[in-house]
Amino acid sequence: MTTTSQRARWGTAHVLFGGHLLFVLMAVGVAVVLTAVVTAAIAIFGTVSTSLVDPAATVLRWFALGYGTYLFGTALPTHIAHGQTRRNFMVQAALFVVAASIAVGAVLTAMYALEGAVFDRLGWVHEVPDDRLYAGPGDWGLVLLTYSALLASGRWSAASCPPRSTGPAGGDCSWPCPPSRWWSWPGRPSG
């Protein structure tokens, strides 16, 4: 039997998976449509010479970084304000980041496969940048691994300087981070 306190402990995961994952997938949907429109426009007015999914994935990595900043800059203080622990939040956020990264990576993999089919159908050369793990759109497993790992690292790079309480473990990160005044909220000691 699940008690009320057990359900409350997983409330953040419920919010992240119930609403935020849908929002992330809707944002990816916008990227899919924009990529298709840009590809069509370039095909009409010029020549398509390279993959357009790759630049779209770069934009989505920046989106992941911004979303990670939101997650740890806004959602964490809210989580703590509702009486939960940072450890509890990190477990739930980690599950969300992994699931969202795999879901968005799967969408990007499907986009890449669809783009490869369109390029083949229209006789265009589907070139892949040399710095990728995969050789083309047929390497679905490596495409999924690459994009999922890039998206997850984009989200977690925002977590490298999460809000902290002052104390023995407090202080600045070992590499340049935003000043602690950027991570302030009412009731938090400034540091």
Q: For residue 31, what are the domain limits?
A: 20-161
Structure-token pair, residue 5: 């306190």
> For the whole model, what pTM was predicted?
0.69
Query: Considering the domain boundaries, does residue 12 fall inside one?
Result: no
Assess if residue 94 is contained within a domain.
Answer: yes
60 lies in a domain?
A: yes
The per-residue pLDDT for 139 is: 84
Question: Does 191 fall in a domain?
Answer: no
Secondary structure of 28-82 in HEC code, one letter for each residue: HHHHHHHHHHHHHHHHHHCCCCCCCHHHHHHHHHHHHHHHHHHHHHHHHHHHHHC
pLDDT at residue 165 in the model: 41
Is residue 177 in some structural domain? Answer: no
Within a domain: 189:
no
Let me know if residue 24 belongs to a domain.
yes
CB 180 within 8 A of CB 172: yes
User: What's the domain count of the chain?
Assistant: 1
**Does 166 reside within a domain?**
no
**Radius of gyration for the chain, computed over Cα atoms and rounded to the nearest angstrom:** 20
Per-residue pLDDT of the chain (191 residues; tens, 9 = 90+): 555 565 566 777 777 787 777 888 888 888 889 888 988 898 888 888 788 888 888 888 888 788 778 888 888 888 888 888 888 888 888 888 888 888 888 888 888 888 888 888 888 888 777 777 887 777 888 888 888 887 787 655 555 444 444 334 444 443 344 444 444 444 545 54
